[in-house]
């Protein structure tokens, strides 16, 4: 059955809005908030609290035209090895600032393609992490990989150094879509990669899918999702293609291709949603899915889901420490970003005894208040506004202001307002980012600032 699409509703909510993986969002970062603030707040972080680590590797073997990640094609092994050494150096500087050996509950390697680090370099980075931090026995240690460029030796390495989960970029299996995007990988290649991962006893497999890509149609999307569910990945992340050529020049290569319009994008999203739910996957927020046994499903049941720059997460740590070019660190007091380019990162690391932080933003109590509302809505689809205002000691008049702004969503059947509590309906789930804008004190509509909402 073809999913219903309300064209009037899409027209009202099709603007560009943040993904809300943090608050304030990255557009509020500024250079006057940098290393000194990061150092101070790092050292103030309670010693008994666990931290999480995010390691960014900005290299790929091939460049995908649709990619909106900080990455570049680098084939020279010596460059990759040197970058691995810089990661180890930054980890040591970070541990020195923390003073005591901190517990680590999550480690995630993202990119780019983290498996472009040579095997010996990856071993060294993992060994450095374990020598400097106490990695908890039940820690979630995950990595993104490219099924086109992963050797058997590397798959053998991953569980031997502690990786428990892998994430594969799938996007779409239709040849005409893959050709337009510059990412050719057959379904058989994807299936074989997942089989080999599971043979190595890696506990969890995630697949990334994208709708709204060039030349995608409802039929091609249905073919892709029907095929992928036969592989039974434990989780899936389903993203709308973010066409932001003003930010990532490589996307200009797609501008001669046919991009689906908002109604077609929405229909593609609904097809994926319909097939995954029928296949037994639970909906996580607005763009993730997980099987009932998966830790993400269990966290959702407990109201323990969170969001960070990797999307939805079960990570409960209050500090996410980023390592590597462009990586982002989140502390209760502020958010910080490292030098974005690999060259800038290398230059910054030549200065001894500092971290390569280039910009950031301080978080006020009001920011934390608004972030908790946004996060709970995006994770639980429910929040008690009056309770939040009292908990953070905010101006009671904010309640009326928020409710007034939410009326249009209520009239469209996207939220239910009752006793100052907000519940997002199933119809409203795809519009969670639009609803979150109500609580964003910094948001300004601008076509070249954020990606398309739906």
112 annotated as a binding-site residue: yes
Q: Cα(36)–Cα(391) distance, rounded to whole angstroms?
A: 30
60 annotated as a binding-site residue: yes
SS3 306: strand
Residues 6 or more apart whose CB falls under 8 angstroms from that of 256 comprise none
Token reading at 87? 């990661």
Q: Using an 8 Å Cβ cutoff, are 423 and 416 in contact? A: yes
113 annotated as a binding-site residue: yes
61 annotated as a binding-site residue: no
Please list the residues that pair with 135 across neighbouring strands.
104
Question: Which strands form 415-418's sheet, in the order they lie side by side?
Answer: 382-384, 421-424, 415-418
DSSP state of 324: S
412 annotated as a binding-site residue: no
207 annotated as a binding-site residue: no
Residue 343 neighbours by CB distance under 10 Å:
11
Of the candidates 206, 101, 209, the residue with the CA atom closest to the CA atom of residue 163: 206
* Segments of 299-444 assigned E as strands: 306-308, 311-313, 320-323, 328-331, 334-338, 357-362, 382-384, 415-418, 421-424
171 annotated as a binding-site residue: yes
208 annotated as a binding-site residue: yes
Please, is 119 exposed, middle or buried when counting C-beta atoms within 10 Å of its C-beta (0-12, 13-18, 19+)? middle
67 annotated as a binding-site residue: yes
Q: Using an 8 Å Cβ cutoff, are 115 and 84 in contact? A: no
Residues 6 or more apart whose CB falls under 8 angstroms from that of 186 comprise 173
The phi and psi torsions of 306 (rounded to 5 degrees) equal -140, 170
68 annotated as a binding-site residue: yes
Binding-site positions for [4Fe-4S] cluster:
60, 64, 67
Binding-site positions:
54, 60, 64, 66-68, 111-113, 144, 171, 183, 208, 242, 328
Binding-site positions for S-adenosyl-L-methionine:
54, 66-68, 111-113, 144, 171, 183, 208, 242, 328
């Amino acid at each position: 059955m073809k999913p219903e699409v309300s064209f009037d509703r899409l027209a009202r909510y099709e603007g560009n809005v943040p993904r809300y993986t943090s608050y304030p969002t990255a557009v509020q970062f500024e250079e006057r908030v940098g290393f000194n603030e990061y150092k101070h707040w790092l050292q103030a972080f309670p010693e008994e609290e666990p931290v999480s680590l995010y390691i960014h590797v900005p290299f790929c073997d091939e460049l995908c035209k649709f990619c909106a990640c900080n990455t570049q094609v680098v084939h020279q092994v010596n460059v990759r090895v040197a970058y691995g050494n810089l990661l180890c150096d930054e980890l040591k500087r970070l541990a020195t600032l923390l003073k005591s050996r901190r517990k680590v509950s999550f480690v995630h390697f993202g990119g780019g393609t983290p498996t472009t680090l040579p095997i010996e370099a990856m071993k060294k980075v993992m060994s450095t992490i374990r020598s400097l931090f106490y990695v908890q026995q039940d820690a979630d240690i995950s990595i993104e990989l490219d099924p086109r460029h992963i050797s058997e030796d590397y798959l053998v390495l991953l569980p031997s150094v502690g990786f428990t989960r892998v994430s594969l970029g799938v996007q779409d299996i239709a040849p005409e879509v893959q050709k337009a995007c510059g990412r050719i990988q057959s379904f058989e290649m994807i299936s074989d990669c997942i089989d080999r991962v599971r043979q190595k006893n890696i506990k969890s497999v995630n697949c990334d899918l994208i709708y709204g890509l060039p030349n995608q149609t409802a039929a091609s999307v249905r073919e892709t999702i029907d095929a992928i569910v036969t592989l039974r990945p434990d989780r899936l992340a389903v993203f709308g293609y973010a066409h932001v050529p003003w930010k990532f020049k490589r996307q200009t290569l797609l501008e001669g291709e046919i991009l689906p319009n908002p109604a077609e994008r929405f229909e593609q999203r609904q097809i994926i949603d319909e097939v995954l739910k029928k296949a037994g996957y639970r909906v996580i927020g607005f763009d993730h899915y997980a099987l009932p046994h998966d830790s993400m499903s269990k966290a959702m049941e407990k109201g323990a889901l969170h969001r960070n720059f990797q999307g939805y997460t079960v990570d409960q740590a209050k500090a996410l420490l980023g390592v590597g070019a462009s990586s982002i660190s989140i502390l209760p007091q502020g958010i910080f970003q490292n030098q974005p380019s690999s060259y800038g990162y290398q230059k910054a690391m030549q200065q001894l005894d500092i971290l390569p932080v280039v910009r950031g933003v301080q978080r006020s109590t009001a920011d934390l208040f608004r972030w908790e509302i946004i996060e709970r809505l995006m994770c639980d689809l429910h929040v008690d506004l009056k309770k939040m205002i009292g908990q953070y000691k905010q101006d009671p008049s904010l309640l009326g202001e928020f409710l007034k702004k939410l009326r249009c969503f209520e009239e469209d059947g996207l939220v239910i307002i009752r006793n100052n509590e907000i519940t997002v309906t199933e119809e409203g789930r795809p519009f969670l980012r639009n609803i979150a804008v109500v609580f964003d004190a910094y948001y300004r509509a601008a076509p070249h600032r954020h990606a398309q909402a739906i």
